[in-house]
Structures are given as C-alpha cells and as structure tokens.
Amino acid sequence: MTFPGHIRKPNKRAFPVESPLMPQIPRGNFLHLQEEKQRLQLKKFLLHRMFLVAELTANTGKKDIADYYEQMFQSILKHHLEETVTGFLLVYPTSILHILESSSGTLYRILLDYLSHQKSETEFFIQGMRIIIVSHNIPTRLFMQWHISVIKVPVMYLDDVTQTQSVEEVITEFLTQTHKLALHLLKTVKVGAKGPGDNLHQLAPELLIPEQIIKYLYKSEEFMDPETFINTYNKPIHVTLDSEVIWPAPTYF
C-alpha cells in the first residue's frame, strides 16, 4: 500500500519589486557638479585669475618683458593645450602690475618659471614678486587676450594713501581700481587688436593704480611670494597623524 507523498504548497510570498513610481534620489558629489557646469559652459578646465606685483631692475625695457612672457606662454602651451593665457601687464618705471587668467596648471608653471630664473640668474629683471590674490573658478574672462602697456609718463600724486590707510583699505582700493580698468579695456579694446598701447595715462588716467601702491604691496609681508605659494600648493592635503603610526593602534569608542 502506497501513501501519497506530501506535496509542498508553493510559496506564494513574492519578492518585493521596486515600484517604477518610486522616486529615485540621484547620488553625486561636488566634483561631479563642477564638471557638469564646465560641460554645459563648454569649458575644458576651471578658470582662475591671479594678481601679481613686482619690482623691476633698472633699464628694463618693454621688449625684454614682452619677449620673456610671450616665449614662456608658447612653451607652456606645448604642455597645456588650449589653456591660453589672457590678462594685462602694466609696466611702471620701477614696478609692474600683472593680471593673469588661465588654468591652475598654467598659472603654476608661470610661477615656476619665475622661480627658476630668479635662482639661476644673478640678477633677473623681475624681483620681489608678490601674489596679491587668486580668484578661483571665475565664470568668465575679463580679457580676450594678453596685453602689455607701458606707463610712460610718471603721474604725480599729492597724497600717499599708503601712509594713512591700513593694508585692508589699500588692497580694497587696489582690487576696485584694477577691476574698473579691466572692465574699461573689455569695452574699448577690440578682439584681435594689439591693445590700448602705451598711452593709458592719457586715455584713462583716473583708472590707473598709483605706482606707490604697487611698491607698497610688493614690499608688504602680508602677501605670499611665489616660492611660499608653490610650497603650499605642493603640500599634501592628507597629513599623517602621530596616532596613525604607533603600535598598537589606538581604539576609539
């Protein structure tokens, strides 16, 4: 006599199926957000703007300065394709004001080139360079190309504001005037032109930064020199703590 085997009832419990109507939360990070912004704006790299001031040695001509920077820019372009440099260089009788716009890698190489010349040459014609400010991830350029202009006629100033104002007030005036000058050049200099030439002291004398302010800034210890900036730039972000190299490893509760 045979007994029918026990027939197991099928399990009617179904695996949970994700509802197509359930909202999906996109997961990303800040880097992806920045890359997406650059893609939408058709940019291949983040754009930065750097303000530099420095002292010039005696008998330094415009051609010497222009040739130095143009050759350096061409050399850097071989390693950083399409990362062109735009900006403006004002050459005073004994000092310079330089505004540069490009990628971080290009600006880094510009500072490295200055340091290499300063260390290898007995008297490089650019001395005492100071980095006043670096504006990161700027939305657009203020300059369409790189220009150089010489302030031929020294302008006499009745009041030396550096004697009565604080560093914060001097730097505020400096940045305000430089941005006004940049906006003026953006409106007046056509794309492809050689620039305003060497008569800015006649076209827009009220927008020029007094040379006494330039001298005050490159002599000030509050601002970084290129060597300090490069060392800080190369310093690792993740620092190994003493507790991470001892044994046994500490236990945290």
Per-residue pLDDT of 159-176, as tens digits, reads 566 777 888 889 998 999
Contacts 24+ apart (CB under 8 A), 118-125: 123/57, 124/57, 125/56, 125/57, 125/60, 125/64, 125/65, 125/68
Note whether 130 and 217 are within 8 A (CB): yes
Residue 147: pLDDT above 60? yes
- Domains in the chain: boundaries: 43-231
Note whether 224 and 232 are within 8 A (CB): yes
Whole-number mean pLDDT of the chain?
Answer: 79
How many whole angstroms from its chain centre is CA 197?
Answer: 26
Neighbouring residues of 128: CB distance < 8 A, sequence distance ≥ 6: 54, 55, 218, 219, 225
May I ask the CATH class of domain 43-231?
alpha beta
Question: pTM for the complete prediction?
Answer: 0.73
Q: Is-cis flag, bond preceding 205, omega within 30?
A: no
Per-residue pLDDT of 101-111, as tens digits, reads 999 989 999 99
Dig out the tokens for 245 from the structure: 């190299």
